[in-house]
Amino acid sequence: MIQVVQAFDRAPIAEVPADDAAALERKLAAATRAMRDRDGWPKPHRRIAILRRAAELLEERQARFALLIAREGGKPLTDATVEVVRAVDGLRNAADEIRNFAGKEIPMGLTPASDGRWAFTTKEPIGVVAAISAFNHPLNLIVHQVAPAVAVGCPVIVKPATTTPLSCLELVALLREAGLDEPWCQTLVTDDNALAEALATDPRVAFLSFIGSARVGWHLRSKLPPGTRCALEHGGAAPVIVDRSAAIERIIEPIAKGGYYHAGQVCVSVQRIFVHAEILDAFTERFAARVAQLRVGDPILPETEVGPLILPRETERVASWIEEATARGARLLGGGRLSETTLVPGIVLDPPADAKLSQLEVFGPVTCIYGFTEMDAAIGIANSLPHAFQAAVFSRDIGPALRAAQRLDASAVMINDHTAFRTDWMPFAGRRHSGYGVGGIPWTMEEMAEDKMIVLRQEG
C-alpha cells in the first residue's frame, strides 16, 4: 500500500494499493490487445462524446477535485480551483481538436513519373502510450497526457507521482464513467522506480510521455527500445529581464505571481530576475514589500497564497541552497521556515554566478535579483545555463522588448508577463536539457499520431 498524506501537515489522507510487476504485465497486455484490434478502435464521434462527458462530470465536481489537489499536492485552494477549470477546458480542447485532426492531400502529377495518381495522408494512433507524470499539477498534467491519447485513439497507461496519485485515480474513474473502456486508460501506481522504468521501456510501448526531472527523463530516453518515440518535459531557472523603461508599479504583481505560485514548484517559475541598475533599488524595495505580504500557510484555507513544498526533504534542500548563497556574500530578504514542509518566501540579492541558486532549478519559494547596466550582458548570463524553457522581458519600449525576445534562448518569451504564463492549447517545450518534443494538447496529439500515406493509381 502507498500512504498518501497532506503536503502541509503530513496528515494521512488515504492508502492506495500499489501495483506490482504482474499488474503491469496485465495492463500492458490489455492495452496491446486493444491497440491490435483495429475493428474495436473507438470511433472519432465516440471519443468526442467521452471527452465532452468527462469535462461535464469534472466541472460538476470542481470543488471536490480542487480540495483534493490542495490536500495531496499543497497547492493553495484558489490556485487548485483554477487548475480544475483548466483541466475541464483541456478535455474540451482535446475533443474539439478531433474535428480538425486530419491528414492532407499530397500533390501528384508534378513529374511524368507521378502522373495518374492521387495521394493523401491519414492520421493513425501511434500505439500504446506510457505517461509518467509529476506532482505539481496532479490533475492538469494528467489531462495533458491522457486527453490527447484518448483523442487520438491510443491506449494509455498513466503513472502519477507517488505523492499525488488521488487526482489521477479519480480522473481515470471519471473517464470510465464517461464511457471509456478500461484498456484505453489504465493507471500504474507504484513507488518502485524499477517498475516505472519497466513501463517506460517496454517494447510494446510506442510513445513515452514523461514530466519530471531531467535526470530521470534523459535516463529513460537512453533506455527506450528502437522505434519508441517520446516527449520529455523537465524544468529550468527561468530568467526575467526588467528594462529601465518598465513601469515598476505594474510589474511587481505578475513577477511575484510567477515566482511564488505554488511555492515556486513550477517548471517555468520566475527564478532569476535581471533588473536595470537605474531602477534596481526601487524595484527591489517594491518587490520585497509585496513578497513579504504573501499569505503563507495551510493550502485549504481560501486566503492562502503560498503553501508547502511537497516533501520535508525539499524544504531542507531549498534552505541549504539559500544558506550556500548567503554564506558567499548574497543578501536574503524574507525567508525562514513556517513548518516541516513550508518555507516563508524569500528573495536572494546577487547570489554568486556559480551558486546553486544561479545555476539550478530551485523549485521553491525563492527568487534571485541581479543588477545590470547592459541588456545584452544580462541576456548572455540568462542564456548561459544548459537548460532553457520560458523567459520574460518587461519594458514599455518596443525596441528593448523585441531585442530581448529575439535574443533570449527560450522556447517562449513573454513580453510584460511572467514566465509561468501558459494556455493549454499553446506549444510548450523545453530546449536543451529542459526537454524534448512539444507539449500542449493539440501538439501532443500530433506527437501521439502517425501519418499514413495512401496513393491511388488511375487505371486505364
Active site residues: 233, 267
Q: Which residues pair with 128 in a beta bridge?
A: 205
CB 209 within 8 A of CB 145: yes
- The pairing of strands 366-372 and 346-349 is parallel
Residue type, 356: K
Place of cell 543578501: 331
Burial label, 396 (beta-carbon count in 10 A; 0-12, 13-18, 19+): middle
Burial label, 115 (beta-carbon count in 10 A; 0-12, 13-18, 19+): exposed
Residue 199, sorted as left (phi over 0), alpha (psi -120 to 50) or beta, turns out to be: alpha
What 3-state DSSP class applies to 360?
coil
Residue (of 367, 213, 359, 360) closest to 294 by Cα position: 367
For every residue of 120-163, DSSP letters joined together read: EEEEEE-SEEEEE--SSSTTHHHHHHHHHHHHHT--EEEE--TT
Q: Which residues pair with 274 in a beta bridge?
A: 241, 370
What 3-state DSSP class applies to 412?
strand
Is the torsion defined by CA of 362, 74, 320, 312 positive or negative? negative
| Distances, alpha carbon 43 to alpha carbons 40, 46, 66, 154, 155, in Å | 9, 5, 32, 12, 14
Q: Rounded to 5 degrees, what are φ and ψ at 309?
A: -85, 165
- Cell triple for residue 387? 537548460
